[in-house]
Amino acid sequence: MNRPDIISKFNNRSSSIMGIKVKNSVLLPLVSINQEWQLIFQVRSQQIKSQPGEISFPGGKIEPGESSRNAAIRETSEELGIQTNSISIWGQLDLLVTPFNMMIVPYIGEIHTLPKDFNINLQEVSEVFTVPLDFFVKENPYKYRMQVGITPPHDFPFNLVPGGKNYPFKQGEYPSYFYIYGDYVIWGFTARIIKNFIDNLS
């Protein structure tokens, strides 16, 4: 391959994150109820394969050719059954890159018109509820530190790396947060996104 061919491959190329196989986008949706900001959450349906019964923000996979922003709006509209013109994006929170080859692009926005009865997509969502923003501002989440490490397969070529089987593979820490609001337990990716949002509000 000659010089111009190599340059053409990388000139104006947008960077990505190595190893990411799944790209999702979510919306942290705020709504004003009786002049008080509240966060909207959904309980995931028992019918879906990924994390059934858990609490999440609306969101999902970014489709080919779709922007992460548009994906957040589309998924929120589809899951909560509201019109896209009722959704305003205010900004973007920090990217969440997981140890599981997945990236989540979180946005913060406002739901302008809250229907009396959500026309939710029952295949994906079983319940919708709100929590006052002030709860998260005042409440420190429970935090647990989980260790993340590399487990080489049995046929890993240790003979090709310095130190062989004694090679010092790096270890990492993965924080897990829990917010408990009444009977609702909000944890996992959703709690990490909330924590990031609250930290940036401070």
Here the tokens at position 26 are: 């979510």
Predicted confidence band of residue 115 (pLDDT cuts 50, 70, 90): low
Runs of H (alpha helix) within 123-186: 133-138
What is the sign of the dihedral through the CA atoms of 149, 151, 157 and 159? Answer: positive
Cα(157)–Cα(117) distance, rounded to whole angstroms? 58
Bridge partners (DSSP) of residue 185 are: 180
CATH topology of domain 18-201: Nucleoside Triphosphate Pyrophosphohydrolase (3.90.79)
Q: What is the pLDDT of residue 5?
A: 93
Helices and strands counted in the chain (H then E): 4, 11
90: left (phi over 0), alpha (psi -120 to 50) or beta: alpha
Paired sense of beta strands 142-148 and 172-181, if any: antiparallel
pLDDT at 114 over 80: no
Residue 118 reports pLDDT greater than 80: no
For residue range 143-166, list pLDDT tens digits in order: 999 999 999 999 999 999 999 999
Residue 21 confidence (pLDDT): 85
Q: Determine the pLDDT at residue 117.
A: 65
Residue of 128, 115, 137 whose CA lies nearest to 184: 128
